Structure 1
């Protein structure tokens, strides 16, 4: 199962997420699910509805527990993780999940997305 996790700035719009997801899919192929934190849920849910993809909710408090490839100082200060997108993807994809690469940034630089592969939480491989 592949899960695309998102991180984004307050000023991001649906177009920012669409652009980031299209860039990710061009590099890694299509994804099975989307994921977002509670605070980022509405915009990612909108994308999920538009794409016919389920969205997994990740607890904001869990972000610091994920080991990320990217190390954004801003993200570390604001959310306790080197990359919100990478942490969300890993946490949503479940125990033993692996990132397929570092986060990708939307053209407008307002959104990031990363993809992880693993067994979803509560599912066996």
Structure 2
């Protein structure tokens, strides 16, 4: 087991520090993200943590600097899956005007599982 501090700054990211976010590496049951502040995805990328290995997010309390990054985490997962799906189909969307919109892919089960495990405080495998 290994604990990595990705962010431990204040609510405003003073001094370039990221919002509260700790990465707990476990081997058998997936990795845990303890708190997920609004700047957590930036910290995850900076410290080269693969978001796909995170199976559970634990929120210690309901302050925005501890849970504000969860929507970004889920959107990131959804966009990556959409990119993988479009690459495997070799499909591209033509943009004809600024009002054009690409079709929104169905919500991936991974996002639903992550949201459910976050709300229930347990891993999807449990």
Q: Determine if the TM-score, normalized by the shorter chain, exceeds 0.5.
A: no
TM-score by length of 1: 0.30
TM-score by length of 2: 0.30
Q: Which has the higher strand share?
A: 1
